[in-house]
Amino acid sequence: MTGVQTISMYADQTFRTTLLLWITSVQLTLAMSITLCLSAFIASFVTDIVGRRKLLLVSSLGITFSNLIITIYYYLAE
């Protein structure tokens, strides 16, 4: 529902455009996949404890911040 499958599908191609010399795009894709799995596992327990509304608000702020960082990165990369 959030498009994370699309992001995962094109992650390797996207990470190839970064100029990191110490880590490959495959390693970045693997790290992203592990992070997604761990986040989903942890979220299944935290949802009932914290509440859906609070998690939705925090998630929205996190998404906004992440999109802002990505936008600035690609703007400066051009």
Please write the tens of the pLDDT for every residue from 19-70.
Answer: 777 888 888 889 988 998 998 899 888 888 998 899 889 989 998 998 999 8
Q: How many domains does the chain have?
A: 1
- Name the residue range of residue 10's domain: 4-77
Return the higher-pLDDT residue of 15 and 57: 57
pTM beyond 0.75, yes or no: no
**What is the spatial distance between Cα 50 and Cα 40, in angstroms, rounded to a whole number?**
15
* Band of pLDDT at residue 2, cut at 50, 70 and 90: low
Contact status, residue 38 vs residue 6, Cβ threshold 8 Å: no
**What is the spatial distance between Cα 18 and Cα 53, in angstroms, rounded to a whole number?**
35
Task: Count helices and strands (H / E) in the chain.
Answer: 4, 0
Return the higher-pLDDT residue of 3 and 72: 72
